[in-house]
Chain A
Amino acid sequence: QVQLVESGGGVVQPGGSLRLSCAASGFTFSSYGMHWVRQAPGKGLEWVAFIRYDGSNKYYADSVKGRFTISRDNSKNTLYLQMNSLRAEDTAVYYCAKDQGPSPYGSGQFDYWGQGTLVTVSS
């Protein structure tokens, strides 16, 4: 079955950096686009970033553009999110999610989600 396991969350000071990872299994990782979606405490869901199955296209929410970088290593079945210049408003649970497909540019729908990793930005 599809499994997505995030790691790398923690407490970081404003202006700091953090790198999240998402280990995927149970499907052909290299055939699907992948997303990061976040949820601030007690709030709703916000899409953060997408990467195409081969890494050739990446899209970002305006709120993170220029600060976050999504990447993937298909040889390791792993998705990443490098987060720089972190702000208090980036505090959230970060989920990785599999794109439903089949478009190589992403369908914008998320059919499997990991359990999330909490990022807290605080001094």
Chain B
Amino acid sequence: EIVLTQSPATLSLSPGERATLSCRASQSVSSYLAWYQQKPGQAPRLLIYDASNRATGIPARFSGSGSGTDFTLTISSLEPEDFAVYYCQQRSNWPPGTFGQGTKLEIK
């Protein structure tokens, strides 16, 4: 089973700053990686699919990059509503589609 490791576990930043979240796979997943945002008490929301494609309705400040084993989610300028938990998920050897453990983005 492919293991996804996200770093850091917690990221403390201020609104307007740039956020960089990392996801590393235990083996290559090609570009078959997605990012989801989850706010407290809410369902996850698809942000990025296939490493770099924004999902419907996702603002341009969210971008994804990477391939193989190393991936990055970048939020160019943080808005107050962006503080949440972010999960990466691979579908290279789906099923199962394994998730990372999450990165909590909190207000500094």
Query: Do residues B44 and A45 form an inter-chain contact, with CB atoms below 8 A?
Result: yes
Interchain CA distance A6-B102 in the complex, whole Å: 24
B43 within 8 A of A: yes
**Of A47, A108, A114, which one neighbours B43 at CB under 8 angstroms?**
A114
Interchain CA distance A49-B24 in the complex, whole Å: 24
Chain A residues numbered 83-120 whose CB sits less than 8 Å from any CB in chain B: 95, 100, 106-116
Number of A-B contacts (CB under 8 A): 58
Query: Do residues B46 and A47 form an inter-chain contact, with CB atoms below 8 A?
Result: no
B69 within 8 A of A: no
Interchain CA distance A108-B2 in the complex, whole Å: 14
Number of interface residues of A (CB under 8 A): 22
Main secondary structure of the interface of B (DSSP, over half): loop
Interchain CA distance A112-B98 in the complex, whole Å: 17
B45 within 8 A of A: yes
The interface residues of chain A lying within 8 Å CB-to-CB of B96 are 47, 61-62
Which stretch in B59-67, B73-81, B87-95 binds the other chain? Answer: B87-95
| Nearest chain B CB to A100 CB, angstrom units | 7
| Nearest chain A CB to B46 CB, angstrom units | 5
